[in-house]
Structure 1
Amino acid sequence: MRTSPHTLRAYRKGTEVLLAHASAHAWNLLHPGHREPGVYVASLSASGLKPATVMARVAAASALYRALRWAGATDADPFADVKRPKDRTKGIVKNPPYRQDFVGAMLAQADAQEQVLLLLLAHGGLRIAEALALTWADLDLGRRRLLVAHGKGDKARWVPLSARLREALEGWQAQVPALPQTPVLTFRAYSSAYERLQKVALRAGMEHEFRGFHAGRKYAGTQLYAATKDFTRVAGFLGHEQVDTTRRYVELPEDDLNDVVEHFR
């Protein structure tokens, strides 16, 4: 199973934080005391980190101990029963989809390659790792679709292409040596893609509205749900195994039920 670069970065950071804490508090890392993991989690919360960040740090710590158990270095599973903080705010509220005016303003300021990246996220619903891994061989413009060969969990899926995304891909294809196994995007690093879109947002005068890549994926999911009213189809489009995950990607209008309730008998 492939692990996304984003997850690897999060695990690396979480491991660094744990090791620094263990060193400062004289942990025996292979045989931690019963209270030490709980104290670690409490210290993360007390430092002002958001619950989601604390949970990410705990996930990294748990992954480290899984690796240590696999290597035979320890039998400890110290974070198995540690109480994790709960975030009562829904993810769709904390990081909502981009708005249509934002996407339009970004596309107006983006160059040909940046338009492709934006539309792979906002129209194709791709994860950033999937967009960066896309090759020209994965495109089937004639049948208006692309192949995500290695999605999350190493699962493949076909994604339909909007007319705007096809146009952007064709325009970019005419500018570069589009060999079958060549990546569609010339930059391969997450940080490079982030910097490119951050500069586009600055040119568009919307640097404060730019919130990374995931809000573009949520934009795609929200647009598709508005058209289909079907979470199952949106889940397949986004590459989610569980529909409950998809519900966190779709922003529902506050008056979504008004017309239905109006005609109750």
Structure 2
Amino acid sequence: MTHSAELSASLALQPYQGPLSFARLWLEPEQRRREAVRAARDRDLETLWSLVQAHHSLHTTAGSRHTLRTYRNGLRRWLVFTERHAVGLLRPKPDEGALFVRELEAGQVPLERSNKKARTGASAQPAAVARPLSASSVNVYLAGARALYRALRWADATDADPFLDVRVGADKVARWDKRSPYPQAAVEALLLTGDARHRVTVLLGAHAGLRASEIVGLKREDVDLMSGRLKVVGKGNKLRVVNLSASLKRALSEVLIEQPGQALIIGGTPEAARLRLRAVCLRIGVPFLSLHALRHSAGTRLVKSGRSLQDVARHLGHASVATAEIYAKWADESLKQELDNW
């Protein structure tokens, strides 16, 4: 079997084996260089992605699957950009990286590549509509594009680094003005509709403060109803123990009884969970913010109840107390109350 054929067979493996499953396929230096050059020439997303995962798993600190998903999206955006502008992946011009970032900020780079007709010269619209991106989103996509060039240099396919001195523009919106939490009344409305699985999803976010990937990845074995705690692997593969609220314990107990033998309590993908929550919000007239906004609700409610920022950071799994300061901003209504009396 040729190296390309072996790669193709590996990429077809189900279920997903993790980034290390690709590493051994890229260990032979000359094959690695040859296959990387071919994949770059053909803009072969899957092969380039397997190269990035192989390099990431061997030569960087292990990241979460969420990190890898963002890297993949950044790689896809870069492929769209280079295809539209006829940029050679292995020999981009010095300012192509900066132009990529500026176009992301302006909303000129869609996530999807054009269809086959467009690639062969016929006119067609991109598969997805682009929109201006925040500084944080641009940084996410830039990280994925940078990861590609680290992998290509590892493969000795290029010495290019088009993003070496590229900087993302400053975010003009304060952190606390973005992705606000759901008001407590909205959380209560969400809990009055849907089945037990839906209520568990809401409570895992709004009470336990879990991230979207943590919600869908929570396993039955990670929940201990007797002690009232659950274990979750968060950012950077860090394990933390989270205390359960009384209502979350009841909802989890109901779901565990309804789903005997099922390993994952919620399962699916973060995007699927977001879409389910969005559908419920639309049905009951609650403005949809995001699934992650439920986590913000947990932090804000803890601060309002008088808990310290250290308690909030520990409950939500923040590496720094400074990250929890955003919840104090949302929880502080004293200025509004003062102005109401003027």
2:174 matches 1:100: no
Change in CA separation of 1:70 and 1:255 when aligned onto 2, cut-off 3 Å: farther
2:175 matches 1:91: yes
- Given that 1:55 and 1:85 are in contact with CA atoms closer than 8 Å, whether structure 2 keeps it comes out as no
Q: Distance in 2 between matches of 1:30 and 1:114?
A: 47
User: Which residue of 143, 151, 157 maps to 2:234?
Assistant: 151
2:203 matches 1:119: yes
> Which residue is equivalent to 1:189?
269
2:295 matches 1:217: yes
In structure 2, stretches of 5+ residues that fail to align are: 1-61, 108-130
In structure 1, stretches of 5+ residues that fail to align are: 260-265
> Which residue is equivalent to 1:41?
101
- Given that 2:197 and 2:255 are in contact with CA atoms closer than 8 Å, whether structure 1 keeps it comes out as yes
User: Which residue of 60, 68, 75 maps to 1:15?
Assistant: 75
1:257 positional shift: 11
TM-score by length of 2: 0.67
Q: Distance in 2 between matches of 1:75 and 1:105?
A: 55
Q: Distance in 2 between matches of 1:214 and 1:205?
A: 19
What are the superposed Cα offsets for residues 211-252 of structure 1, whole Å, 9 maximum, x if unpaired? Answer: 221100011111122234422221121111122333345523
Change in CA separation of 1:191 and 1:42 when aligned onto 2, cut-off 3 Å: closer
> Which residue is equivalent to 1:132?
216
Helix, strand or coil at the partner of 1:183: coil
> Which residue is equivalent to 1:176?
259
What stretches of structure 1 move > 6 A for 4+ residues in a row?
Answer: 256-259
> Which residue is equivalent to 1:162?
245
Q: Distance in 2 between matches of 1:4 and 1:245?
A: 22
Change in CA separation of 1:168 and 1:14 when aligned onto 2, cut-off 3 Å: same
- Given that 1:4 and 1:152 are in contact with CA atoms closer than 8 Å, whether structure 2 keeps it comes out as no
> Which residue is equivalent to 2:64?
3
CA RMSD after TM alignment: 2.3
Q: Distance in 2 between matches of 1:119 and 1:37?
A: 42
Percent identity of equivalent pairs: 40
Q: How do residues 75-86 of structure 1 correspond to structure 2 at under 5 angstroms?
A: 75-86=159-170
Q: Distance in 2 between matches of 1:245 and 1:81?
A: 27
User: Which residue of 80, 88, 96 maps to 1:28?
Assistant: 88
What are the superposed Cα offsets for residues 115-171 of structure 1, whole Å, 9 maximum, x if unpaired? Answer: 0011001100011111111112111111111111x2111110100000110111112
TM-score by length of 1: 0.85
1:178 positional shift: 4.7
Change in CA separation of 1:244 and 1:213 when aligned onto 2, cut-off 3 Å: same
Aligned residue pairs: how many?
252
- The structure with the larger Rg is 2
Q: Distance in 1 between matches of 2:261 and 2:181?
A: 32
Change in CA separation of 1:93 and 1:62 when aligned onto 2, cut-off 3 Å: same
> Which amino acid in 2 is paired with 1:194?
R
User: RCO higher in 1 or 2 (8 Å CA, sep ≥ 6)?
Assistant: 1
